[in-house]
Amino acid sequence: MACRRASKALGAVLALWAGAALGGPPERVVSINLCTDQLAMLLAKPGQLVSISRISQDPNVSVMLEEARKYPINHGQAEEVFRLNPDLVLAGQFTSSYTVGLLRRLGVEVAQLPIVTSLDQIPGAIREVGRLLGRAAQAETLATEFSADLAALRANPSNRPRAALHYANNYTSGDKSLANDILTAAGFANVALEAGLSGGGTLPMERLLMLMPDLIISGQHYPGASRSEAVLTHPAMNALRDRHAGSALSDAEWVCGTPAVLRAISRLQEAYE
Amino acid sequence: MTRVLALVLVLLIVALFALSLLIGPAGLSPARSLAALLRGEGLAETLVMREIRLPRAILAAMIGAGLGLAGAAMQGYLRNPLAEPGLLGVSGSAALGAVIALQTGFAAQFALGLPLAALLGAVLAVGLILALAGPRGGSLTLILAGIAVSALAGALTALVLNLSPNPFAASEIMFWMMGSLADRSMTHVWLAAPFIAIGAVVLLAQGRAFDALTLGEDSAASLGVNLSRLRLVLVLAVASMVGAATAVAGAVGFVGLVVPHILRPFVGARPSSLLWASALGGAVLVLAADIAVRLVLPDRDLKLGVLTAIVGAPLFLHLVFKTRGQGL
């Protein structure tokens, strides 16, 4: 038994060494970030991706639930990731620096992918994950397809309806954000820009009402209750929806820079038509 | 004297209420604000005035009145100037009840679930405190019991919020412990109003009994005061007011301590006058505090309890120092 385990470990070490020495594609990839999970699931060859993060199985934020259920999950902790014996770990830009540092000290290669803050960065992110996984050809196909679909969807009306992004705690997104890009591509203008917001920030409900948006895109409700989300269904917002503005929901499709944002764009266009 | 005091307090409430309606990030001119509030001119302006600012001002006045009155009543009954719903853990326990109702879904299932759960939490705390303190309410026992109840309620509130599947819940521990009136609505006014009104009417009707109690329990009993009934009324009325206030605004501390202390000299230390004066004074204090949080940090939702504690805690220490000589 012990002997078999030792030989298995030896085999894994040899494979790792062989992979590294030959510069071939990684054999055992673990992803610990929701967005890299999704890009890796789209691009990895069968058996290459051995574990994805727990969050990918959360219907509130993950767009690839069914696919995600086929993979063993991890909780993004260095110890459990190390035990999976990966030759590449995919992490996000803001993954805990302790986790990333610890894994690197243990000799694991960790690739940290930047947060996607615009639609134009998505093809680059797809190609980067493809390159890391040794699946450049597949990534190229996916990226080209995405760019073509986006160009076909992109609306450029002369008169843009004004939309507001309204998340829990009155948080909203200004320019330099993926959500703003989704809005713009769908043919809307973001009222947060009129209010002078750059990046993310809070816009008090009073000011949001005074801006009189034509469409309110609300953040979704998570299970359980919170006061933070109560603003989404505040009587003033409900009244504005009833008497003036259309409504749409910002859900899992808005979270990551993956081809799923195309669905967010087309849903937004349908919601307002 | 008391008539002048009543007039001054009412005028202050009116002025602060109006000011509260005129302050906000929308930056409306007073004329536009009034036109929107009274005549509904402009959809956005009307929503801002009627659905955001009006409920906020009403809640501040109502909650302040409830907390001020609750403090005066507890001090009158226990004949101890240190008694206050926040310090004794009543507000904290009400918050725990509210949080449990919200996270279990009980509050969503029926309209009065939230205030009733908070009321239940408050009843348990007031009952426990009165039982521990005994009829005379020795300061040391009272405060120690209050510390224990507060600590336990705070810890359990944090536990419930940490166990919630909602990613925002845990960050709201501060709201439940410090209180805020930001982004509340008319729904919250209607939830809290009946409970605060009933509690206030019931307590204000006990003025004579509180006056008699200043002569000591035996004298009060011989004057026809039913002490065990008074105790029951006090527990239920205080819990009703503090429970409803906390359910919609979180635990705002020190109001019931500061207000009776400031007003006591003006009413000749008569508990019956102190009751209504503290209700009016509480409304003044919370309206003023809620205006201040919006002026100091307009976009940051500074918690109400931060301001009331900055005013109240030094006063509390001063009171502790004063009562030290009386064999605390």
Complete DSSP assignment for B219-263: HHHHTT--HHHHHHHHHHHHHHHHHHHHHHH----SHHHHHHHHH
Q: Do B299 and A224 touch (CB under 8 A)?
A: no
A103 and A203 housed in the same domain? no
Of B1 and B167, more confident: B167
For residue A246, being part of any structural domain is answered with yes
CA B239 to chain centre: 10
Share of chain B above pLDDT 90, in %: 72
A109 and A220 housed in the same domain? no
Nearest to A226 among B166, B187, B298 (CB): B166
For residue A107, being part of any structural domain is answered with yes
> pLDDT value at position A18?
45
Lowest mean pLDDT of B28-37, B153-162, B216-225, B257-266, name the range.
B216-225
Q: Could you tell me which residues of chain A have a Cβ less than 8 Å from any Cβ in chain B?
A: 168-170, 202, 204-207, 209-212, 222-231, 234-236, 239-240, 243-244
What's the gap in Å between the CA of A94 and the closest CA on chain B? 18
> pLDDT value at position B136?
63
A125 and A244 housed in the same domain? no
Per-residue pLDDT of A154-164, as tens digits, reads: 988 889 999 99
State the pairing for strand pair A200-202/A171-173: antiparallel
Q: Do B167 and A222 touch (CB under 8 A)?
A: yes
Check pLDDT > 60 for residue B43: yes
What mean pLDDT comes out for the span A124-139?
Answer: 96
Q: Alpha-carbon distance B75 to B137, whole Å?
A: 9
A64 and A127 housed in the same domain? yes
> pLDDT value at position A166?
96
> pLDDT value at position A16?
47
What's the gap in Å between the CA of B99 and the closest CA on chain A? 9
Q: Do B183 and A228 touch (CB under 8 A)?
A: no
A131 and A176 housed in the same domain? no
Q: Do A224 and B169 touch (CB under 8 A)?
A: yes
Q: State the residue for tokens 């301590």.
A: B257
What's the gap in Å between the CA of B164 and the closest CA on chain A? 6
Share of chain B above pLDDT 70, in %: 98
> pLDDT value at position A73?
95
Check pLDDT > 70 for residue B167: yes
Q: Which residues of B touch A207 (CB under 8 A)?
A: 25-26
A143 and A211 housed in the same domain? no
Tell me the CA end-to-end span of chain A in Å, nearest whole number.
66
Residue B327 confidence class, pLDDT cut points 50, 70, 90: low
* Complex ipTM value: 0.88
The angle subtended at Cα B116 by Cα B98 and Cα A205, nearest 5°, is 50
* Interface mutation vs chain B, best among A166, A209, A231, most B CBs within 10 Å: A209
What's the gap in Å between the CA of B14 and the closest CA on chain A? 23
For residue A72, being part of any structural domain is answered with yes
Nearest C-alpha in A relative to B28: A210
What's the gap in Å between the CA of B150 and the closest CA on chain A? 22
A97 and A39 housed in the same domain? yes
Q: Which residues of A touch B298 (CB under 8 A)?
A: 204
Q: Alpha-carbon distance B124 to B93, whole Å?
A: 8
Among A105, A129, A150, where does a domain finish?
Answer: A150
Q: Do A225 and B186 touch (CB under 8 A)?
A: no
> pLDDT value at position A211?
95
Per-residue pLDDT of B106-138, as tens digits, reads: 998 888 999 999 999 999 999 888 888 776 667
A96 and A141 housed in the same domain? yes
> pLDDT value at position A22?
52
Q: Could you tell me which residues of chain B have a Cβ less than 8 Å from any Cβ in chain A?
A: 24-26, 43-45, 47-48, 51-53, 102-103, 105, 107-108, 164-169, 171-172, 175, 183, 185-187, 298-299
Residue A259 confidence class, pLDDT cut points 50, 70, 90: very high
What mean pLDDT comes out for the span B199-227?
Answer: 91
DSSP A219: E
Phi and psi at residue B147, in whole multiples of 5°? -60, -45
> pLDDT value at position B111?
84
Residue B324 confidence class, pLDDT cut points 50, 70, 90: confident
Full DSSP string of A138-206: HHHHHHHHHHHHHHHH----SSPPEEEEE-GGGEEE-BSSHHHHHHHHTT-EEHHHHTT-BSEEE--HH
A42 and A116 housed in the same domain? yes
Structural domain boundaries enclosing A134: 23-150
CB pairs under 8 A between A and B: 85
In chain A, how many domains are there? 2
The rounded mean pLDDT for chain B is 92
Among A92, A120, A150, where does a domain finish?
Answer: A150
> pLDDT value at position A114?
93
Q: Is the dihedral of CA B273, B275, B276, B279 positive or negative?
A: positive
Nearest C-alpha in A relative to B166: A224
> pLDDT value at position A51?
96
What's the gap in Å between the CA of B92 and the closest CA on chain A? 17
CATH number of the domain encompassing residue A202: 3.40.50.1980
Nearest C-alpha in B relative to A201: B299
> pLDDT value at position B139?
75
Check pLDDT > 60 for residue A2: no
Check pLDDT > 80 for residue A23: no
Nearest to B51 among A202, A224, A239 (CB): A239
Per-residue pLDDT of B229-272, as tens digits, reads: 998 999 999 999 999 999 999 999 999 999 999 999 999 878 99
Q: What is the pTM of this model?
A: 0.88
Nearest C-alpha in A relative to B107: A225
What mean pLDDT comes out for the span B150-164?
Answer: 95
Residue A1 confidence class, pLDDT cut points 50, 70, 90: very low
Give which of A70, A86, A69, A83 is closest to A31, Cα–Cα: A86
Q: State the residue for tokens 């992004």.
A: A165
> pLDDT value at position A175?
87
Q: Which residues of B touch A255 (CB under 8 A)?
A: none
* Interface mutation vs chain A, best among B168, B171, B294, most A CBs within 10 Å: B168
Nearest C-alpha in A relative to B299: A204
A136 and A28 housed in the same domain? yes
> pLDDT value at position A81?
95
**Tally of CB atoms within 10 A around A201:** 15
Nearest C-alpha in B relative to A237: B47
A116 and A191 housed in the same domain? no
For residue A15, being part of any structural domain is answered with no
Full DSSP string of A56-71: GG-TTT-S-HHHHTTS
What mean pLDDT comes out for the span B298-312?
Answer: 88
Per-residue pLDDT of A80-113, as tens digits, reads: 999 999 999 999 999 989 999 999 999 999 999 9
Residue A8 confidence class, pLDDT cut points 50, 70, 90: low
What mean pLDDT comes out for the span B96-109?
Answer: 93
For residue A7, being part of any structural domain is answered with no
Sequence spans of domains, chain B: 55-324
Q: Do B166 and A224 touch (CB under 8 A)?
A: yes
A144 and A47 housed in the same domain? yes
Q: Do A210 and B48 touch (CB under 8 A)?
A: yes
Residue B326 confidence class, pLDDT cut points 50, 70, 90: low
Q: How far is CA B158 from CA B96, B167, B172, in A?
A: 9, 14, 9
Nearest to A227 among B24, B108, B172 (CB): B172
CATH number attached to the domain at B55-324: 1.10.3470.10
What mean pLDDT comes out for the span A189-202?
Answer: 90
For residue A238, being part of any structural domain is answered with yes
Residue B51 confidence class, pLDDT cut points 50, 70, 90: very high
